[in-house]
Amino acid sequence: MLKRSAQGGDVDGMDDLRGIDLNLVVVLDAILAERNLTRAGEVIGLTQPAISGAVAKLRKLLDDPLLVRRGRVSELTPRALALQPIARAAVTEIGRTLNLRPLFDPLTSDRRFRLSASDYALSVMTAPMLEVLEREAPRVSVEFGPMSNIGPIDLLREDVTIASAVRGVPGKRQSLFSDTTVCIVRHDHPRIRDGALTLEDLATMPYVQVSFADGVIMYADDALATAGIRPRVARTVPGFLPVPFTVADTDMYGFVPLRLAELYGGALGLVVVRTPLRLPVLVESAFWHPSRTSDPALTWLLGILRTVAERVEFASEAG
């Protein structure tokens, strides 16, 4: 699709940036790389309707279908193939414009990183991370922020997002540390029998539900549903940290990572109880946008996060 420039020459529509949403460049890059709308949406954290809407805009803007079906697979059109390196370079430059620097020396850099995370991850990682930064990069700072919405996450506006490897988290991923999910109640709860609760207990006792974002089902809720239980939700809290304080001195129960139960259980009079549920292991991971993979500052930060994660993972042994 050609447009007439003010000087009378023909210019490609991609050259006129005044009417282009730069988010479409990110979508275009993902589509050309993945060659599949569903996978492209997962990479950049867009829902199926959102990615479909963006693709429709791109096809109209470029006057090209971009993807064509060939049997069971989709192939790039000739124009899409030609745009692939251009879109990749554009996304890289957008990332650099949003505070990526080509060189990075942690001893002298004053780089300010943006890191968002679940309340649980922040509670166990912030202190050891600040200790490591003080020693290895005294002028570097980190802006910690809550992960108020798991998806979609604009990873171009964050350096790293730390979250459990749940549905809806886009981008590249590096596993950091793991934890087990446990059920907590007050230590003198009358329903406890031999340190355990039954399925009937879980169905009838008031339940403290964790909700990070609309449409995101937590592991514990999945496990309850699999066991055929519709719990009596008494409170809904926006993260794991409020759960121990909400359960304390009540007849309610809730699920938290074991480290939180160990951290607050004694002071709040709580105990961990067994249940018949099959609860998966929580894996906290670092997520970042693919365009930032080659950034040396991000590579360094991920190394720092691995160091901190080792402290968190083996803290009990070190103590």
Q: Which of 110, 180, 96, 173 is nearest to 138 (CA)?
A: 110
Q: Is 317 inside any structural domain?
A: no
> CA 52 to CA 316: how far, in whole Å?
48
Of the three residues 97, 125, 149, the one that is the final residue of a domain is: 97
**Is residue 45 within 8 Å of 152, Cβ to Cβ?**
yes
Q: What is the pLDDT of residue 2?
A: 34
- Residue 255 lies in domain: 177-282
Q: What is the pLDDT of residue 12?
A: 45
> CA 54 to CA 24: how far, in whole Å?
7
**Is the domain of 89 the same as that of 181?**
no
Q: What is the pLDDT of residue 213?
A: 62
Q: What is the pTM of this model?
A: 0.65
Find the CATH number of the domain harbouring 228: 3.40.190.10
| DSSP label at residue 178 | E
Q: Which of 313, 317, 312, 316 is nearest to 128 (CA)?
A: 312
**Is residue 275 within 8 Å of 158, Cβ to Cβ?**
no
Q: Is 128 inside any structural domain?
A: no
| DSSP label at residue 193 | B
Number of structural domains found in the chain: 2
Q: Is 184 inside any structural domain?
A: yes
Average pLDDT, the chain: 82
Q: What is the pLDDT of residue 45?
A: 65
Q: Which of 159, 162, 157, 188 is nearest to 174 (CA)?
A: 162
Q: Is 76 inside any structural domain?
A: yes
Query: What is each CA distance from 165 to 8, 121, 178, in whole angstroms?
Result: 53, 12, 10
Of the three residues 71, 97, 123, the one that is the final residue of a domain is: 97
Of the three residues 49, 77, 97, the one that is the final residue of a domain is: 97
Q: What is the pLDDT of residue 61?
A: 87
Q: What is the pLDDT of residue 97?
A: 62
Per-residue pLDDT of 183-237, as tens digits, reads 999 999 999 999 999 999 999 999 999 987 665 667 899 999 999 999 999 999 9
> CA 263 to CA 243: how far, in whole Å?
12
Q: Is 138 inside any structural domain?
A: no
Q: Is 10 inside any structural domain?
A: yes
Q: Which pair of tokens denotes residue 135?
A: 């020693």
> Under DSSP, is residue 184 helix (H, G, I), strand (E, B) or coil?
strand
**Is the domain of 181 the same as that of 278?**
yes
Per-residue buried b or exposed e for 124-141, using 16+ beta carbons within 10 Å of the residue's own CB:
bbeebbeeebeeebeebe
Q: What is the pLDDT of residue 206?
A: 98
Q: What is the DSSP string of 219-236?
A: HHHHHHHHTT---EEEEE
**Is the domain of 93 the same as that of 188?**
no
Q: What is the pLDDT along the chain (319 residues), one digit of tens a residue?
A: 333 333 334 434 444 545 566 678 888 888 888 888 887 877 776 777 888 888 898 898 889 999 888 877 788 899 988 988 888 877 777 666 665 445 678 998 888 898 988 888 888 999 999 999 999 999 999 988 776 554 444 566 778 888 876 555 667 888 999 999 999 999 999 999 999 999 999 999 999 999 876 656 678 999 999 999 999 999 999 889 999 999 999 999 999 999 999 999 999 999 999 999 998 888 888 988 877 777 888 999 999 999 999 988 877 554 4
Beta bridge partners of 254: 184, 208
> CA 168 to CA 157: how far, in whole Å?
17
Beta bridge partners of 162: 117, 286
Q: Is 16 inside any structural domain?
A: yes
CB atoms under 10 Å from CB of 22, counted, come to 12
Q: What is the DSSP string of 81-139?
A: HHHHHHHHHHHHHHHHHTT--S---TTT---EEEEEE-HHHHHHHHHHHHHHHHHH-TT
Find the CATH number of the domain harbouring 40: 1.10.10.10
